[in-house]
Structure 1
Amino acid sequence: MSKRPLILVTNDDGITAPGVRALIEVVKPLGDVVVVAPDSPQSGMGHAITINSTLFVEKISEEGSEIEEYSCSGTPADCVKLAINEILNRRPDLCVSGINHGSNASINVIYSGTMSAAIEAGIEGIPAIGFSLLDYNWSADFTSAKYFARKIVENAINEGIPDDVILNVNFPNLPEKDIKGIKICRQARANWKEEFDKRQNPMGKDYYWLTGKFVNMDKGQDTDIYALQNGYVSVVPVQFDLTAHHCIQQLNSWNLND
């Protein structure tokens, strides 16, 4: 008899976040689940790892619990590294990260702790998916996200995710009946136009709050932003090989060795 898949669950909003609780509900019937997640919110951490200070991990589930849960003092990427190398007794068959409170579509994938955790698993050769809901509210309704996440996870287990590919999944903030389906997309070309709100503390020292506006320059109808704006769940296959292969030939024409 074959073993049930081992599924590693993590996130960047912290182990108590409603989003990760929703994701645990999704995957619990599909395999053996172990949760290793940050002990506090780590949004926007990107692929940061802890190298100059200590890391702490605490098992927070009770002995005999159906699901093992561990709280980690580090970043989302730290959580995955520790899970694979120190906590789990076998390699996971799948890593799922999220469900994030807020969008990780388009350029947000670069900054996302949610996606960086999934990418860290992908670097280790483990199939991985990052999930995000376009609602930053802590009390967001994850009902429709759970329905579509289950479909995506089931397909990932049954069909397999291509090697060296991580799926970036974003859910529109809509009731299930209003979501038109799932679209495989490319990442929209967009960015943040940053501004800093400069203030002074009572001691006269300047400090700054980062603000800004998300600007989508991409008019394509095959992008994640277009899909989400039109009521679809977006799925973008992401790779961690950042080589710009298309320009290698051009760079080889430079007079670099003369």
Structure 2
Amino acid sequence: MSKKPRILVVNDDGITAPGIKCLIEVMKEIGEVTVVAPDGPQSGMGHAITIGKPLRLDKINLYEGVDMYKCSGTPVDCVKLAVNKIFKGNKPDLCVSGINHGLNNSINVIYSGTMSAAVEGAIENIPSIGFSLDDFTWEADFSHCRKYVKDICLQTLKNSLPQGVLLNVNFPNNSKPLAGIKICRQANAKWAEEFDERVDPHKRNYYWLTGVFQNHDKGEDSDVWALEHHYVSVVPVQFDMTAHHAISNLNGWNFNV
């Protein structure tokens, strides 16, 4: 009998979030599960790490048959501690992050703690996937995601991923049946941000970030299009942020130094 794959599960919504519970339950069907997740919500943390203060890592028992730890740090801290202190360098076969309450499509991938945890897994050369659902509520229904999560993970374990590449997977809500899986690119879309200015009881101004999501991309091969048409979007992403196409242009500049 082949050995079960070892799977690291992380998230950014916190260790008690319903999304990670769903992900844990699906991963238990595939392999041996270790969970390291923040002790509270860490949404929008991006690739932040904790410097200058101690990190806490406490073993807890929430789900039977799962090796589980809560961490005082960021989602990326969780992956770093898992690799170094729990797996002790004997890296897991798969790192999965989520399932996030809210989409991480288009530009959101830059800010996402969910995706940054998966990116850190890829930096460690672990096949990694971030999962997100188009529902911000704590009562979100993840049931329609389960079979897709399992299949995508099994395919990743079977086929592996190119070095430095991870998957960003986003699910539509369950308002109607899913149309299937679409491999696509990140859309050219972003938030038009505004800061609502308010006054606190001490008469001091403060600001609350708001905004409207604007899609400037009309292509039918983007993650935004896929989700609008009720597909599960799967985007291969990478942590190498070099603009390779711009190198030849910059080499033509005449620097006078």
Query: What's the CA shift for 1:190?
Result: 0.8
| Distance (Å, rounded) in 2 between the aligned partners of 1:257 and 1:182 | 52
Alignment map for 1:34-73 (pairs within 5 Å): 34-61=34-61, 65-73=64-72
Amino acid at match of 1:23: L
2:9 corresponds to 1:5:
no
| Count, aligned residues | 256
Determine the structure 2 residue equivalent to 1:235. Answer: 234
**Over residues 4-33 of structure 1, what are the superposed CA-to-partner deviations in whole Å (9 max), with x where a residue is unaligned?**
111000000000000000000111011110
**Secondary structure at 1:74's aligned position in 2?**
coil
Amino acid at match of 2:204: K
Determine the structure 2 residue equivalent to 1:203. Answer: 202
| Distance (Å, rounded) in 1 between the aligned partners of 2:159 and 2:125 | 16
| Distance (Å, rounded) in 1 between the aligned partners of 2:45 and 2:118 | 13
Query: What's the CA shift for 1:61?
Result: 2.0
Query: What's the CA shift for 1:48?
Result: 0.3
Amino acid at match of 1:252: N
| Distance (Å, rounded) in 2 between the aligned partners of 1:19 and 1:165 | 24
**Over residues 134-190 of structure 1, what are the superposed CA-to-partner deviations in whole Å (9 max), with x where a residue is unaligned?**
000100000011121111111111111222101000000025x71110000000001
Contact 1:174 1:231 in 2 (8 A): no
Contact 2:199 2:206 in 1 (8 A): yes
Determine the structure 2 residue equivalent to 1:248. Answer: 247
Consecutive unaligned residues in structure 1, runs of 5 or more: none
| Distance (Å, rounded) in 2 between the aligned partners of 1:168 and 1:30 | 20
Tell me which stretches of 4 or more aligned residues in structure 1 moved more than 6 Å: none
Determine the structure 2 residue equivalent to 1:106. Answer: 106
**Secondary structure at 1:199's aligned position in 2?**
strand
Alignment map for 1:61-140 (pairs within 5 Å): 61=61, 65-89=64-88, 90-140=90-140
Amino acid at match of 2:193: E
Which moves more between the two structures, 14-23 or 197-206?
197-206
2:173 corresponds to 1:173:
yes
Amino acid at match of 1:6: R
**Over residues 97-140 of structure 1, what are the superposed CA-to-partner deviations in whole Å (9 max), with x where a residue is unaligned?**
00000000000000000000000010010100000000001000
| Distance (Å, rounded) in 2 between the aligned partners of 1:54 and 1:205 | 32
Determine the structure 2 residue equivalent to 1:226. Answer: 225
Which moves more between the two structures, 29-38 or 248-257?
248-257
Root-mean-square deviation over aligned CA pairs:
1.4
**Over residues 54-111 of structure 1, what are the superposed CA-to-partner deviations in whole Å (9 max), with x where a residue is unaligned?**
100100028x951110000000000000000011252110000000000000000000
**Secondary structure at 1:178's aligned position in 2?**
coil
| Distance (Å, rounded) in 2 between the aligned partners of 1:112 and 1:70 | 21
Query: What's the CA shift for 1:252?
Result: 0.3
Alignment map for 1:132-171 (pairs within 5 Å): 132-171=132-171
| Distance (Å, rounded) in 2 between the aligned partners of 1:257 and 1:94 | 49
Query: What's the CA shift for 1:257?
Result: 5.2
Identity of aligned residues (%): 62
Query: What's the CA shift for 1:255?
Result: 0.8
TM-score by length of 2: 0.97
Consecutive unaligned residues in structure 2, runs of 5 or more: none
